[in-house]
A and B are shown apart, each in its own frame.
Chain A
């Protein structure tokens, strides 16, 4: 059952006296939805994702937090204090670090999480096989991880999370190393997870988000500036022209029929 996520008045500092990485953040993410978390670098996107995965509570012992986080029926005050694997799967920004570095083949790499869960035998083989075919990694099953290209590495990293069948999937810039074919594959994978898994992903661009997400959140300075559907996001895009990559605007205008743009953006795009 895909959980909903509710965050209430969340404040977070990495240590006493540090600037707030998250400031009075409140948001609700519906069960089974696919939500895009957008914003410039330093907005707090990765911090939010890491809080939801539990890694921040587990490893950053000097952090100061207040507020509450509700994931499904589990409430954390203020934030989860241990990693919520396997119910929450987290894909890191750097896929090469996500892999264990100790396995000799892609297939073994995928099985690493299952070893930690104590799953072996038929179920282990079945889950690995499913993940390999879902991310089109079948022909790479016996390849050594260090021989993979950037895109293959990213798919392998995602597959290594999906084998655990998380109910909440949290992705940090899942398409940053992928070409257009790889991005389309990722779109298909995330669409296939709708309803069965709640997906929240951070992205620095907007094209991928527009292709796959149904809810949009825009962050800046640790706070949520906008929360809404795709149409609401497209209608409000003018407000975020300085937060989101302008090089994608012409594509957005062409593909999504956005006919009005901020005058400064229009000037840059020579519209």
Chain B
């Protein structure tokens, strides 16, 4: 509990302290290793999709899992660390999109804590909204740092939007709008389906375990 009225100078310190406390609550117990596992999942899920020849990225599935099971602050950390490590392991541009990963983690954690992952029909809505927000957040970075060139197949879309008279920023934003909502909706639905089958005794080990419905039929099978 705060004993004093925060001044503008101490607000940042108090906010930072509150964020730190919230983060520690989110990662206590199984949360810390789980965040590490999910970061590795972010870096590996793309390989699995490629092995199955599926046209999806799913490089934020781990971040969304952390957001749902742990909370927004740990998801922000997971997203940022994932992007930094992706840069370290051969995709240098990823570090610049760390703010986008943070937005994904923070937004998903926020809506998960408000029950958006408890009803299956709200999950796709959350995914579409997340996709739009991700497109808005990534457009300035892609436009001003990379001039819209991300060394991916979607660069063709940017060229197309530019050729019909849009500015660079608009072109990058429209390109993001054409792919991010789809990718994020698929990610959200995948996480929902993965987590709803988890037994409650596993879900209860995480701070965000109540963010999900649970399948009673699974409860008998695990004795952890």
Contact = CB atoms under 8 A, between A and B. Distances in A.
Chains A and B touch each other in the complex, with CB atoms below 8 Å apart: yes
Interface of A: 14-15, 59, 61-62
B29 A15 contact: no
Contacts of A14: 201, 223
10 contacts: A14-B201, A14-B223, A15-B201, A15-B204, A59-B29, A59-B30, A59-B205, A61-B204, A62-B201, A62-B204
Interface of B: 29-30, 201, 204-205, 223
A61 to B, nearest CB: 7
Contacts of B204: 15, 61-62
Contacts of B30: 59
Contacts of B223: 14
A15 B205 CA distance: 12
Contacts of A15: 201, 204
Nearest to B204: A62
Nearest to A19: B223
A219 to B, nearest CB: 16
Contact residues of A: prevailing secondary structure: loop
Given A59-B29, A61-B204, 8 more contacts: A14-B201, A14-B223, A15-B201, A15-B204, A59-B30, A59-B205, A62-B201, A62-B204
A151 B35 CA distance: 30
A61 B204 CA distance: 9
A209 B162 CA distance: 77
Contacts of A61: 204
Contacts of A59: 29-30, 205
A61 B30 CA distance: 13
Nearest to B223: A14
A14 B223 CA distance: 8
A17 to B, nearest CB: 10
B138 to A, nearest CB: 32
Contacts of B29: 59
A31 to B, nearest CB: 33
Nearest to B33: A101
Contacts of B205: 59
A261 B205 CA distance: 46
Nearest to B200: A15
A61 B223 CA distance: 15
Contacts of A62: 201, 204
Nearest to A62: B204
A39 to B, nearest CB: 16
Nearest to B29: A59
A61 B207 CA distance: 11
A45 to B, nearest CB: 13
B73 to A, nearest CB: 21
A15 to B, nearest CB: 7
Closest 10 CB pairs of A and B: A59-B29, A62-B204, A15-B201, A14-B201, A14-B223, A59-B205, A61-B204, A15-B204, A62-B201, A59-B30
Nearest to A17: B219
Nearest to A21: B223
A14 B30 CA distance: 17
B186 to A, nearest CB: 31
A15 B223 CA distance: 10
B62 to A, nearest CB: 17
B110 to A, nearest CB: 24
A62 B219 CA distance: 14
A14 B219 CA distance: 12
A55 to B, nearest CB: 10
B64 to A, nearest CB: 24
B85 to A, nearest CB: 15
A62 B30 CA distance: 15
A61 B201 CA distance: 11
Nearest to A97: B33
A14 B199 CA distance: 14
A14 B205 CA distance: 12
A59 B224 CA distance: 11
A137 to B, nearest CB: 25
A15 B201 CA distance: 9
B190 to A, nearest CB: 27
Nearest to B28: A59
B69 to A, nearest CB: 15
Nearest to B205: A59
A15 B220 CA distance: 12
B115 to A, nearest CB: 21
Nearest to B30: A59
